[in-house]
């Protein structure tokens, strides 16, 4: 951990409470799951004993679906002796206590929930995909965010989930199958050359490969060597963003996200690639604390709307580290 603290010290001036930040980096992450109303609905309509025994005639009318799925899930986990409490800022998510292997329960295999680090739920929320839309997830595997988006789209429209690595796409396909996702088309392209012939999309998620500094709580160290360092990734991130921007329709929304603290992989990439046809929009998520994005770094002044990049330091919400930006393309752009 000493090496890691030394590495992180380059961010000292960006962090409001350094001792709290370092202390939180030493702690393991809470376990978080989100309820899948699509699967719950399917199992209930089939009369599967797996879902119905604890449901006692839930009201599955529109609007109560997610609430019902979440409370059924909490009950099911309770019956397995795992207590849980809702994540205030993300409807359907639960923090679960005392569970060692959340990916090894019958409920998981039935697709009633998905396991995901809490802060990585943010990008899909910011993307706000709607039923019936055309959506692209350019770096999608193993598919946690794809799955969230498919649920937000209520299994309608088209969601293209792309990743360059076929072995990681196997995990994505298996997640789609387990969770009952029907609107996902899986492709394996280099995102920097994703075919423009496919046409433009209403929304694009670009959850780029990064140096993963924000995952420090998963292992107590930063997987620096494996990730190639903060500067090594910036070129690929910028090229991916350039292509993703071309694939976005006028008036559309692109969410750029990383699980890293480095401005080189966040604001500097946005500043380098985005032009006048882009606006980084302010984001506020009720119940979730964020700090402002960076507009000055290593002697560089960045575009002013970089302040709207939302930075989630681990101590702010007891999560991993993350950064996300919601960017809108002007109607006049091409
Ligand atoms: C941060 S991970 C994505 C996590 C995923 N969004 C999720 O929520 O499960 C980054 C992904 O980018 C993929 N990747 C790396 N280079 C790529 C490229 N040139 N084109 C497309 N995908 C790429 C990696 O294989 C990796 O799966």
Other Cβ atoms within 10 Å of 7 Cβ, number: 17
Is 259 an active-site residue? yes
Mark whether 9 and 36 lie in a shared domain: no
321 assigned to some structural domain: yes
Tell which one of 141, 210, 244 to mutate to probe ligand 1, the residue whose CB is within 8 A of the most ligand atoms.
Answer: 141
Instruction: Residue 89: give the domain boundaries.
Output: 31-116
Mark whether 152 and 295 lie in a shared domain: yes
What residue ranges line ligand 1, CB within 6 angstroms? 139-145, 163-165, 168, 190-192, 207, 209
Catalytic residue among 25, 212, 259, 306: 259
Tell which one of 115, 143, 164 to mutate to probe ligand 1, the residue whose CB is within 8 A of the most ligand atoms.
Answer: 164
Tell how far the Cα of 301 is from the centroid of ligand 1, in angstroms.
29
Mark whether 286 and 203 lie in a shared domain: yes
Mark whether 285 and 168 lie in a shared domain: yes
Identify which has the larger pLDDT, 226 or 266: 266
The pLDDT of residue 217: 87
334 assigned to some structural domain: no
Among the listed ranges 50-59, 97-106, 210-219, 226-235, which one has the minimum average pLDDT value?
50-59
The pLDDT of residue 222: 63
pTM to 2 decimal places: 0.94
Contact criterion met (CB below 8 Å) for 133 and 202: yes
Mark whether 241 and 295 lie in a shared domain: yes
Average pLDDT, the chain: 91
The pLDDT tens digits for 216-248 are: 888 766 655 444 566 679 999 999 999 999 999
Contact criterion met (CB below 8 Å) for 51 and 87: no
Mean local confidence (pLDDT), 113-117: 97
Out of 84, 116, 148, a domain closes at 116
The pLDDT of residue 62: 43
Identify any residues that bridge with 35 across adjacent strands, giving them in sequence order: 113
Mark whether 76 and 133 lie in a shared domain: no
Mark whether 123 and 108 lie in a shared domain: no
204 assigned to some structural domain: yes
The number of distinct structural domains making up the chain is 2
Nearest atom, ligand 1, residue 143 CA: 9
- The candidate with the shortest Cα–Cα distance to 122, out of 314, 291, 305, 288, is 288
Nearest atom, ligand 1, residue 258 CA: 1
Nearest atom, ligand 1, residue 239 CA: 19
Judging by beta carbons within 10 Å of its beta carbon (0-12, 13-18, 19+), is residue 218 exposed, middle or buried?
middle
Mark whether 53 and 163 lie in a shared domain: no
Out of 99, 116, 133, a domain closes at 116
Return phi, psi of residue 138, to 5°. -75, -30
% residues pLDDT > 90 (the chain): 82
Identify which has the larger pLDDT, 77 or 2: 77
Tell how far the Cα of 181 is from the centroid of ligand 1, in angstroms.
20
24 assigned to some structural domain: no
Tell how far the Cα of 57 is from the centroid of ligand 1, in angstroms.
41
Mark whether 233 and 300 lie in a shared domain: yes
The pLDDT of residue 40: 83
- Residue whose Cα lies nearest atom 6 of ligand 1: it is 140
- Whether 149 shows a pLDDT value over 70: the answer reads yes
CATH of the domain at 296: 3.40.50.150
Mark whether 51 and 89 lie in a shared domain: yes
Mark whether 174 and 197 lie in a shared domain: yes
pLDDT band at 56 (very low <50, low <70, confident <90, very high): very low
Tell how far the Cα of 25 is from the centroid of ligand 1, in angstroms.
24
Mean local confidence (pLDDT), 1-25: 90
Nearest atom, ligand 1, residue 146 CA: 8
Mark whether 143 and 266 lie in a shared domain: yes
Identify any residues that bridge with 280 across adjacent strands, giving them in sequence order: 327
- Residue whose Cα lies nearest atom 25 of ligand 1: it is 165
Give CA–CA dist 231/229, Å, rounded: 6
Tell how far the Cα of 139 is from the centroid of ligand 1, in angstroms.
4
Other Cβ atoms within 10 Å of 298 Cβ, number: 8
Give CA–CA dist 236/74, Å, rounded: 41
Tell how far the Cα of 202 is from the centroid of ligand 1, in angstroms.
20
């Amino acid at each position: 951990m000493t090496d890691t603290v030394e590495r992180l010290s380059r961010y000292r001036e960006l962090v409001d409470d350094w001792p709290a930040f370092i202390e939180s980096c030493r702690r393991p992450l809470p376990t978080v799951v989100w309820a899948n109303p699509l699967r719950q609905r399917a199992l209930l309509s089939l009369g599967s004993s797996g879902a119905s025994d604890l449901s006692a005639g839930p009201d599955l009318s529109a609007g109560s679906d997610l609430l019902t799925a979440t409370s059924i899930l909490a009950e099911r986990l309770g019956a397995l002796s795992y207590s849980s409490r809702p994540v205030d800022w993300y409807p359907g998510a639960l923090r679960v206590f005392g569970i060692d292997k959340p990916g090894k329960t019958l409920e998981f295999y039935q697709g009633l929930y998905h396991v995901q680090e809490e802060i990585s739920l943010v990008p899909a929320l910011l993307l706000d995909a709607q039923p019936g839309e055309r959506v692209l997830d350019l770096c999608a595997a193993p598919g946690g965010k794809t799955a969230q988006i498919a649920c937000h789209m209520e299994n309608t429209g088209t969601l293209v989930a792309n990743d360059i690595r076929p072995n990681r796409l196997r995990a994505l396909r298996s997640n789609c199958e387990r969770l009952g996702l029907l609107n996902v088309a899986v492709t394996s392209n280099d995102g920097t050359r994703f075919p423009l012939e496919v046409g433009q999309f209403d929304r694009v998620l670009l959850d780029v490969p990064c140096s993963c500094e924000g995952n420090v709580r998963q292992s107590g160290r930063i997987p620096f060597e494996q990730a190639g360092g903060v500067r090594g990734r910036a070129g690929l991130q910028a090229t991916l963003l350039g292509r993703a921007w071309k694939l976005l329709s006028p008036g559309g929304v692109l969410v750029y996200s990383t699980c890293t603290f480095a401005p080189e992989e966040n604001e500097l990439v946005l500043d380098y690639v985005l032009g006048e046809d882009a606006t980084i929009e302010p984001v506020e998520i009720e119940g979730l604390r964020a700090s402002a994005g960076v507009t000055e770094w290593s002697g560089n002044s960045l575009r002013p709307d970089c302040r709207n990049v939302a930075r989630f330091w681990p101590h702010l919400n007891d999560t991993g580290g993350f950064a996300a930006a919601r960017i809108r393309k002007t109607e006049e752009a091409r």
